[in-house]
Structure 1
Amino acid sequence: MPSIDQIFEHALSLQQQGQPALAIDIARSGLAIAPEHAGLWQCVAECASDRQDYTLAEQGWRQLLALQPDSALGHHHLAGLLVQQQRHAEAEACYRRVIALAPGDAAPLTNLGLLLASQRRDEEAEQLQQAALALYPHSAQIHGNLAELLARRGSYAAAEAHYREAIRLAPQTAANHANLGVLLHDLGRQQQAEACFRAALRLRADHPQARMNLGQLLLAQGRFDEGWPHHEARYDTPAMQAWLRQRAAAPCQPWRGEPLAGKRLLVLPEQGYGDDIQFCRYLPWLKAQAPAWLTLVCRTPLKPLLATLQGPDALFTRDEALSVIDDYDYWVYPLSVPLYHHTRLDSIPGTQPYLGATEERRAQWQTRLPAGGLRVGLAWQGNPAHANDRERSLPDLMPLTPLWTVPGVQFVSLQMPREPAPPLAMPEFALTDLGSSVADFADLAAIISQLDLVICVDTAIAHLAGALGVPGWVLLPAYKTDWRWLHGRSDSPWYPSLRLFRQPQRGDWDTPIAEVVQALAALAARRAAAG
């Protein structure tokens, strides 16, 4: 019978050979003999993590820590495991324990900094990254971590300096070039950003972040021919790649532009509601490719609205589609269709309006709309989970109050109940609140279709107004402006009924709102003159 040391060596050998399942089996056989062998528990934990068996991995690290409570390694690995499971408070406690046990180690400092940054505890996170850098000033990774945080806090020059130092320290690491490219892109330095993304792709042609960001830069410049292929890097995330591998032998495969005649195609939702509204315009073109059956899948709040779309033979929610996906030949995401449509600025499909409101829904809301005057809908905030929501949304309704200086206008709140409109102290700030009562996007469409104008931030309501062909004025942030609004334009080739009002610099909402007030006054005056 092998000794416990021989069993341990065997388990480690299997682990090093990339056979984690077998290594776990051997380690467990040793633990049955020697349950207090810390090395075997570590082997189990590491191999279980490799197999994404987080329950077993956590058990392994906790068993090791029961035997060696002062193991900085054990606490550090357990912290990383807890972060993966979104158990942030427990992870923070573990990282702080590591810092106490190993005060000269930069790794727990930078990792705790990343964790706190993910919770928007930016000041503490920056202190931790600075402390980590003081211990390990030649770490390109820590320079990059600090740079990302500084950029988010508006310290752009310092962020750029740290990104460039990361490149100097590790010039062959594609991610360093890609990260600097993101910062430069966000700052409007397009030519330099493009050079960074291309440098990253020379080092690693399949780098997903560089491809994705280069794609969005090109799309924002209207360079669609090259932009759409790079935009397909959305498929290169670990989660998507795992799903594709899982479905490698399934009957329904990703559509990559193959002929659709006689085939069954399923169009799946991705990203946000606005994306679904914008890109459902491609369904009539897909139907024109003569598939035997074309099904559009959507999230439940969109289903009644998308029932007004021409093109699909059937409309399912995501839950409804799960049981039938393998009855289809192909599936595709809507943001991939422009690649195979060969969309350019002058060939964007979808004559407005391509969505509508039913007469029944319109009648339900008609009596709740204000009578007389210019009827203007307002939406000042988007989904708070959006990565750039702090930039694209207004803090509340108050920045829009200059709109009430324009006579002859009746304002309607389209704001969903993320945050109710604050009470306005003066009676002249009249606002009809309808947004808090809507059940779905079909209700919003029924309301918007009976308005003269929508004024909103970059949220799904902007896309809905555009898809309905209703005039809309969209307030856009200067920082991380979404690619689909293109650079430097006040119009949108995607939505002819929309007009864009841009911040001249980050945080300056006063300027575009003042421009909106001026434009609204002119519109109201024309309306009054027309009688």
Structure 2
Amino acid sequence: MTISTPLAPAPDDLLREANAHCEAHRFADALALLEPHVGGQPGATDDAALAPALNLAALSAMGTGDAARAQALWQRCLEAKPDFAQAYSGLAALFAALGVLDEAQALYERLLSLTPADADARSNLGVVLQRQARHAEAEAVFRAVLAQHPAHADAHYNLGLLLQGQGRHAEAESALRGAIAANARHAKAYNALGALLRDKARGDEAAEAFRQALLIHPQYPEALNNLATLLKASGKLAEAELAVRLALQIRPNFIDALNNLGCVLTDLKRVPEAEAAFRQTLALAPNHAEAQYNLGVALHTLERLPEAEAAYRETLRRLPGRVEAYNNLACVLMALGRRAEALEVLHEAIAVRPDFAEAHFNIASLHKEFGRLGEAEAGYRRALDANPEYGDAKFRLATLLISMGRFEEGFARYECRYTMPGFVHHATQRLLQCPAWQGEPLAGKALLLWQEDGLGDMLQFGRYARVLKAQGAAHVAFACQPPLHRLFRGVQGIDAVLDHEAGAAAAGQFDYWVSPISVPHRLGTTIETIPAPLVHTPEPALVEHWGARLATLAPGPRIGLVWKGNPKHFNDAHRSLPSLAALAPLWNLPGVQFVSLQKGQGEDEAQHPPASLPLLHLGTEVRDFVDTAAIIAQLDLVVCVDTSTAHLAASLGKPCWVLLPQYDLDWRWMHEREDSPWYPGTMRLFRQRMNEAWSAVVERVRAACAQRFGI
């Protein structure tokens, strides 16, 4: 029988070689070198003599990711040599990394009983106490270290993190700068300082701190991700994407970077890619509530509403205090037509955060849709109390007040559009090189009217040109889009019509400029003092031309039709009819002839109507409003949706019946009434009632036509 003899303690040269492997991060090589010396059963060798090798082998095992092997080696080392300080340090760090904080604390305290002057151990104890939420004790430990060792960089750094977490930003900044002063190559301190400065909106300083961290440690994924967040916030999206992708090259499963990549891609409008990034984040971290919320935003943007609803609800299950998820969920429910549910969800958001301006805004908007105007007004005002600079709430309150007939406050508030960067009006002030008219005397002055809004808006408010001219304006020019040019050349009060480019170039020659929609405010218009509509006399030659086309119709009342508006209008989905077929009840009116004035969206339907439909389509041949006016002048009635044709027809004095949607009704049509004070005697409004189909509205129009024409 051969008897094994105990292995000799590891020689110094072997330890030096293994240590060199560790310093080069070749941990597997180091462990392989040491394993023959430490791999036996405890007690089979002189473990006390092997303590340095056991400690180094444990460090190597940690480096390879084998925490269990490392723990066993350190515990074996300490059982053999209870006063071996390095093993306490390593095992304490292991337990801290594993989150076994009570064990880590006990080990650091034991280590300090052996080596009271070990500043690193004391600083690490402070980190463990901080992670145990024993913040006051942790702070005391860090300050004790610094009292004895003012240049201890990690103590400064850890104190800075602690103070930052408590919102003591000035003290935290001082501590982090202390870490950098003690160690100019402390990349983590630079990174933490950058995050603090970023959160304090000191973007340039934050960017410099992140760049310093990356100069020291170019392969630093946290710093790259933080820099990406900063670049995203400043709108440098291409640079942000590059930074976060570099972070992911270094650490492919970096969860925060994957989530951040999705956010950057969302801002870049590459939403399907963003969705993929959020789903990858959730595959790695299924409980990542922010990624779940962000996935909801992506799905919402892609109009995959049921999936977005599910994502927002899952976010709230995991993170009940995420009020933005409540608000977005409510928006999804509104889009799905589940408005009562949406209102309940918004009230849940307010319960979580009573001053949540967006929720108050959406609650107000829902009350408006339900016809509860007083509650809507109160809601918009609450939103503005919570956030006085909330542009959408300013605008919605203004339009609500106008729609309620409270013109003085409503039109005054409507001027808020010039303070809102997202509105075209905001840019006008810099574009035009003359003062905006604020109501000053106009006698002998040159005035530039400037179109900023839609064609229908200009037809409605073009009436003010003659009012301004009557106040003594020597010259009134109108800068507007080409479809309006021919019409406004014949409008009373207009001396010249320009395109926008020519108007901007000539602005310096005018005393003032003003938008036609701002004039009611400047003149103090009330519902009782609305001027008469603009006056346009159709050109005789055009009347004759279009009269020849209309003569091909059989005898009987002629009704002009427009069933769709501009598809780019924010509310087109509600205000336009689904198709020409929605007007089918009108075809049952005996002897009535129909004329299509439809242009753009819906035109193809009119070009190929059913054979049984008495429809003459002229819209495709119409060049502009002057042609349309010449046609309308020869009709008996115009039936249309909320679009510019309604304003033109009513301005010509032609009876015009407008089909109005239930949701997001434009402010100019006011509420409940069947007529319009802007077009008295000519306009009749057919409002879609709560949850009413368009077919029911059209049936009411059919009945009114039968009564009007006695058929």
| TM-score normalised over the length of structure 1 | 0.88
As a proportion of its length, which structure holds more helix? 2
Q: 363, 366, 370: which is aligned to 2:547?
A: 366
Any conservation in 2 of the 1:180–1:193 contact (CA below 8 Å)? yes
Asked if residue 463 in structure 1 is aligned to residue 647 in structure 2, the reply is yes
Match of 2:564 in 1: 381
**Over alpha carbons, which structure has the higher Rg?**
2
Any conservation in 2 of the 1:49–1:57 contact (CA below 8 Å)? yes
Amino acid at match of 2:549: R
Match of 1:101 in 2: 284
What does the per-residue CA deviation read over 1:289-339, in whole Å, with 9 as the maximum and x for residues that have no partner?
444543322222222222222223332223333434455454433322211
Q: CA deviation at 1:114?
A: 3.1
Superposed CA RMSD: 3.0
Q: 478, 483, 489: which is aligned to 2:673?
A: 489
Asked if residue 408 in structure 1 is aligned to residue 591 in structure 2, the reply is yes
What does the per-residue CA deviation read over 1:242-290, in whole Å, with 9 as the maximum and x for residues that have no partner?
9569939x84344433444555543332332222221222222233344
Q: 658, 662, 667: which is aligned to 1:478?
A: 662
Q: Which deviates more, 21-30 or 497-506?
A: 21-30
Match of 2:605 in 1: 421
Any conservation in 2 of the 1:305–1:356 contact (CA below 8 Å)? no
Asked if residue 508 in structure 1 is aligned to residue 661 in structure 2, the reply is no
Q: CA deviation at 1:441?
A: 2.7
Match of 1:529 in 2: none
Q: 248, 262, 283: which is aligned to 1:65?
A: 248
Any conservation in 2 of the 1:24–1:43 contact (CA below 8 Å)? no
Extract structure 1 runs of 4+ deviating beyond 6 A: none
Any conservation in 2 of the 1:110–1:145 contact (CA below 8 Å)? no
Amino acid at match of 1:470: K
Q: CA deviation at 1:39?
A: 4.3
Asked if residue 247 in structure 1 is aligned to residue 430 in structure 2, the reply is yes
Match of 1:266 in 2: 448
Amino acid at match of 2:615: L
Asked if residue 519 in structure 1 is aligned to residue 704 in structure 2, the reply is yes
Q: Secondary structure at the match of 1:412?
A: strand
Which gives a bigger RCO, structure 1 or 2 (Cα 8 Å, sep 6+)?
1
Q: Secondary structure at the match of 2:314?
A: helix
Q: 410, 413, 416: which is aligned to 1:230?
A: 413
Amino acid at match of 2:342: A
Q: CA deviation at 1:454?
A: 0.6
Using a 3 Å threshold, how does the CA distance of structure 1 residues 502 and 66 change in structure 2: closer, same or farther? same
Map 1:124-135 onto structure 2 (within 5 A).
Answer: 124-135=307-318
Q: CA deviation at 1:482?
A: 1.7
Return the alpha-carbon distance in structure 1 between the equivalents of residues 294 and 644 of structure 2: 35
Q: Which deviates more, 382-391 or 288-297?
A: 288-297
Q: 304, 309, 315: which is aligned to 2:491?
A: 309
Match of 2:501 in 1: 319
Q: CA deviation at 1:407?
A: 1.9
Q: 309, 318, 335: which is aligned to 2:517?
A: 335
Q: Secondary structure at the match of 1:450?
A: coil
Return the alpha-carbon distance in structure 1 between the equivalents of residues 524 and 378 of structure 2: 25
What does the per-residue CA deviation read over 1:116-175, in whole Å, with 9 as the maximum and x for residues that have no partner?
334432222222222222222232221111112212222122111111111111112233
Amino acid at match of 2:481: R
Return the alpha-carbon distance in structure 1 between the equivalents of residues 232 and 474 of structure 2: 45
Q: CA deviation at 1:360?
A: 3.8
Asked if residue 152 in structure 1 is aligned to residue 338 in structure 2, the reply is no
Any conservation in 2 of the 1:21–1:47 contact (CA below 8 Å)? no
Match of 2:480 in 1: 298
Match of 1:354 in 2: 535
Q: Which runs of 5+ in 1 are unaligned?
A: 527-531
Q: Which runs of 5+ in 2 are unaligned?
A: 1-182
Amino acid at match of 1:508: A
Any conservation in 1 of the 2:465–2:492 contact (CA below 8 Å)? yes
What does the per-residue CA deviation read over 1:473-493, in whole Å, with 9 as the maximum and x for residues that have no partner?
111122222221111111111
Q: Secondary structure at the match of 1:378?
A: strand
Return the alpha-carbon distance in structure 2 between the equivalents of residues 253 and 73 of structure 1: 50
Q: CA deviation at 1:347?
A: 0.8
Using a 3 Å threshold, how does the CA distance of structure 1 residues 119 and 293 change in structure 2: closer, same or farther? farther
Map 1:166-245 onto structure 2 (within 5 A).
Answer: 166-240=349-423, 243=426
Q: 224, 238, 245: which is aligned to 1:55?
A: 238
Return the alpha-carbon distance in structure 2 between the equivalents of residues 328 and 51 of structure 1: 38
Using a 3 Å threshold, how does the CA distance of structure 1 residues 109 and 290 change in structure 2: closer, same or farther? farther
Q: CA deviation at 1:208?
A: 2.5
Any conservation in 2 of the 1:82–1:91 contact (CA below 8 Å)? yes
Any conservation in 2 of the 1:403–1:517 contact (CA below 8 Å)? yes
Match of 2:345 in 1: 162
Any conservation in 2 of the 1:264–1:293 contact (CA below 8 Å)? yes
Q: Secondary structure at the match of 1:408?
A: coil
Q: Which deviates more, 353-362 or 129-138?
A: 353-362
Q: Secondary structure at the match of 1:302?
A: helix
Return the alpha-carbon distance in structure 1 between the equivalents of residues 467 and 255 of structure 2: 59
Amino acid at match of 1:521: A
Return the alpha-carbon distance in structure 2 between the equivalents of residues 65 and 324 of structure 1: 54
Return the alpha-carbon distance in structure 1 between the equivalents of residues 198 and 385 of structure 2: 33
Return the alpha-carbon distance in structure 2 between the equivalents of residues 26 and 322 of structure 1: 45
Any conservation in 2 of the 1:404–1:429 contact (CA below 8 Å)? yes
Return the alpha-carbon distance in structure 1 between the equivalents of residues 485 and 424 of structure 2: 28
Return the alpha-carbon distance in structure 2 between the equivalents of residues 125 and 9 of structure 1: 34
Q: Secondary structure at the match of 2:605?
A: coil
Return the alpha-carbon distance in structure 1 between the equivalents of residues 626 and 591 of structure 2: 28
Return the alpha-carbon distance in structure 2 between the equivalents of residues 83 and 242 of structure 1: 27
Q: Report how many aligned residue pairs link the two structures.
A: 523
Amino acid at match of 2:502: E
Return the alpha-carbon distance in structure 2 between the equivalents of residues 94 and 267 of structure 1: 49
Return the alpha-carbon distance in structure 1 between the equivalents of residues 424 and 563 of structure 2: 36
What does the per-residue CA deviation read over 1:462-511, in whole Å, with 9 as the maximum and x for residues that have no partner?
12212222211111122222221111111111112111111222342233
Any conservation in 2 of the 1:4–1:34 contact (CA below 8 Å)? no
Q: Which deviates more, 325-334 or 24-33?
A: 24-33
Return the alpha-carbon distance in structure 2 between the equivalents of residues 147 and 329 of structure 1: 48
Any conservation in 2 of the 1:27–1:40 contact (CA below 8 Å)? yes
Return the alpha-carbon distance in structure 2 between the equivalents of residues 253 and 111 of structure 1: 45
Asked if residue 114 in structure 1 is aligned to residue 292 in structure 2, the reply is no
Match of 1:82 in 2: 265
Q: Which deviates more, 514-523 or 256-265?
A: 256-265
Q: Secondary structure at the match of 1:451?
A: coil
Using a 3 Å threshold, how does the CA distance of structure 1 residues 115 and 17 change in structure 2: closer, same or farther? closer
Return the alpha-carbon distance in structure 2 between the equivalents of residues 87 and 356 of structure 1: 51
Return the alpha-carbon distance in structure 1 between the equivalents of residues 509 and 292 of structure 2: 51
